[in-house]
Amino acid sequence: GPEELSKETILDKFKWNEQHSRSIEIRNRFEQNGVIITVYQFGVKNRDLPVREKSAVIIGQIYRGDSLPQYLKNDVIDILKNYIAFHDFTDPIFPHYFHILADLAWSSSHHTRILQDNFLQVINRHLQSPRPKNVILSLEIIEHLIIGGNNYTKQCVKKGIDFEMIKSNQTQDHNARFLLNEVMKFGGYQIEEERIQDQDLEKPIIRENEEKKEDDGNEEKK
């Protein structure tokens, strides 16, 4: 029920804050020791694509939901976006790259870059993924863009994301259902969210009505 969901959300938030405070300490140390600039110069700017991709993940993990320094932002976000757009989603580490970008989407300073190059169409494609994890990560990115985004970001999401497809998603995954309803709600689709719930409630009611009709002598067609 709603109470369980809110408890889960609160526990997740506590867990995230604890990890986040540790990651800030590590990040500050890495910035002071020159580790970040070294990873940027020799990793993010490397000629070898796999090295660039792994370096972008390292930087993304260090900053998580916080704003990347200006000199890092475009390169790191573009590398992650390209990985998600062009790699085979069956790649076992694919969700890891997706998760890093979802974390970076918490920061509104990254939204413009994330939205560039029609990236929401890539997200729409992954919303149809046969892998529940990819659907969940797509919904997470959408939710983070909406929650922290300005009016421009929200309008881009409303125009660019296929909410009808989200509404028709039949996933039984608990986390995906929760995120799906949150995305619909944050996107201003309260009516659609209610319809999703109503559809689930309608099925037994229709069956009851049909049973009553049969009891009345099958006078009406089903």
Beta carbons within 10 angstroms of residue 126's beta carbon: 19
For 79-109, the pLDDT digits (tens) are 999 999 998 777 788 889 999 999 999 999 9
Interatomic CA distance for residues 181 and 131, integer angstroms? 19
Both tokens of 167, joined, read 């509404």
0.75 exceeded by pTM: no
Task: Tell me the percentage of the chain whose pLDDT exceeds 90.
Answer: 46
Per-residue confidence (pLDDT) for residue 19, from 0 to 100 = 62
> Is residue 115 within 8 Å of 156, Cβ to Cβ?
yes
Residue 183: name the closest of 199, 150, 161 by CA. 161
Average the pLDDT over each of 22-36, 148-162, 175-189 and give the range with the smallest value.
175-189
Q: Which residue's entry shows tokens 């659907």?
A: 135
Model pLDDT for residues 45-75, shown as the tens digit of each residue: 999 999 999 999 999 999 988 999 999 999 9
pLDDT (0 to 100) of residue 2:
41
Instruction: Domains for the chain: give ranges and CATH numbers.
Output: 2-162 (1.25.10.10)
Check residues 219 and 18 and name the one with the higher pLDDT. Answer: 18
Residue 27 has a pLDDT of 86
Q: What is the pLDDT of residues 1-13, one digit of tens each?
A: 444 445 555 556 5
Q: Averaged over 191-214, what is the pLDDT?
A: 39
What angle in degrees, to the nearest 10, is found between the helix axes of 49-63 and 70-86?
A: 120
| pLDDT score of 120 | 97
pLDDT surpassing 60 at residue 197 = no
Q: What is the pLDDT of residues 151-175, one digit of tens each?
A: 999 999 999 998 888 877 777 778 8
pLDDT at residue 143 tops 50: yes
pLDDT averaged over the chain? Answer: 79
